[in-house]
Amino acid sequence: MSDINYNGRVAIVTGAGAGLGKTYALGLAARGAKVIVNDLGGARDGAGSSSSAADLVVKEIKAAGGEATANYDSVATKEGGENIVKTAVDAYGKVDILINNAGILRDKSIMKMTEAEWDLVIAVHLKGTFCVSQPAFAVMKANGYGRMVNTTSGAGLYGNFGQANYIAAKMGIVGLMHSVHTEGAKYNIKCNTIAPIAASRLTEDVMPKEIFEKLKPEFVAPLVMYLSSEDNQDSDMIFNCAAGWYSRTAIMIASGTCIGDGKREVKPEEIRAEWTKISSLDDAKVISNVNDTFGYLTPFLS
């Protein structure tokens, strides 16, 4: 089999001035992609901005013989998202790959979280993913080709203490993946989502040093690179990845049980009596569209 390459492909990586995004940008460029290195250059909590983070990554890509252009817009506004995509179209004529990666943290427990902390984290992660995906989708649709990789988090998928804003945003991003997948399928636009764990400024104070040092972003990049390649034909999937471990995770549906005849009242006591079957995930499987849930109701619909 031939090596994966991105010759002739144009990639946007948001938040590519540091951490995971920088690793993706370097990896894609090293294999032939022309890369838009987007980064607002702010602090870990989203405060401030600077062009130096994106500029340094562009410099590194060019020094290694690759092609890259910097963009300093925030993903969190429609105008910013449009300008990021415009930067790619102006510089290289199209967008084939979008890695929605930019992120910040403003962790607080629910009772302590302010409206501003909620709004900013939702704006950068969830709205930001939409703001860049929408104009990128338009270009990909016109060209009949697109690969998007969104970034969720284990905290969003499985829960964590003190991150309600981040967790809600990260699950919203999974929902947005379903939309891009469903609406992009006929244009050959594939959208998948990763839940990475990696050493970066976002995680430097949340894990022991010896573990932190093993969680190199370079272990996450290969999955992102495969998902953004032409070889990848899968879409609408979620993957965990960390330290060389790669695993699919999914929202699933179990067959549950049917109570009554669809006409008579169902009593809460009947729910209690059937709780083991209702709460069981024993035969759970992945479905691809909300309409597939109707298959489980057939006894009541026929």
76 binding ligand NAI? (CB under 6 A): yes
**Smaller CB distance to ligand NAI: residue 102 or 189?**
102
Least distance (Å) between residue 4 CB and ligand NAI = 22
Q: Answer positive or negative: Cα dihedral of 194, 36, 130, 287.
A: negative
* Residue given tokens 């340094």 in the structure block: 56
Among 35, 37, 46, 85, binds ligand NAI (CB under 6 A): 46
Least distance (Å) between residue 62 CB and ligand NAI = 19
Q: Is the CB of residue 101 less than 8 Å from the CB of residue 24?
A: yes
CA 59 – CA 65 distance, rounded (Å) = 10
The count of chain residues that interact with ligand NAI, using the rule CB under 6 A, is: 33
What totals of helices (H) and strands (E) does the chain contain, helices first? Answer: 12, 8
172 binding ligand NAI? (CB under 6 A): no
Chain CA centroid to CA 122, Å? 14
CA 51 – CA 38 distance, rounded (Å) = 9
Q: Is the CB of residue 187 less than 8 Å from the CB of residue 139?
A: no
- Alpha helical stretches, state H, the chain: 19-30, 52-63, 78-92, 115-122, 128-143, 154-158, 164-184, 209-212, 221-227, 268-273, 275-278, 298-301
CA 300 – CA 129 distance, rounded (Å) = 39
Q: Strand pairing partners for 195?
A: 240
248 binding ligand NAI? (CB under 6 A): no
Please tell me whether residue 157 adopts helix, strand or coil conformation.
helix
35 binding ligand NAI? (CB under 6 A): no
Footprint (CB under 6 A) of ligand NAI, residues 213-242: none
197 binding ligand NAI? (CB under 6 A): yes
Has 187 been annotated as catalytic? Answer: no
Q: Is the CB of residue 184 less than 8 Å from the CB of residue 177?
A: no
Among 21, 27, 81, 146, binds ligand NAI (CB under 6 A): 21
Options 61-69, 102-110, 111-119, 284-292: segment touching ligand NAI (CB under 6 A): 102-110
Options 29-37, 62-70, 96-104, 291-299: segment touching ligand NAI (CB under 6 A): 96-104
**Smaller CB distance to ligand NAI: residue 192 or 200?**
200
Among 41, 135, 146, 184, binds ligand NAI (CB under 6 A): 41
Options 9-17, 27-35, 248-256, 262-270: segment touching ligand NAI (CB under 6 A): 9-17
Please tell me whether residue 190 adopts helix, strand or coil conformation.
strand
201 binding ligand NAI? (CB under 6 A): yes
Among 143, 179, 182, 203, binds ligand NAI (CB under 6 A): 203
Residue nearest to ligand NAI (CB): 19
Least distance (Å) between residue 196 CB and ligand NAI = 5
If you write DSSP's letter for every residue of 216-236 in order, what string do you get? -GGGTHHHHHHHTSTT----S
Q: Choosing from 6, 24, 92, 166, which is the catalytic residue?
A: 166
Among 10, 29, 35, 38, binds ligand NAI (CB under 6 A): 38
- For ligand NAI, the binding residues (CB under 6 A) are 14-15, 17-21, 38-42, 44, 46, 53, 74-76, 101-104, 124, 128, 151, 153, 196-198, 200-203
Which residues are part of the catalytic machinery? 166
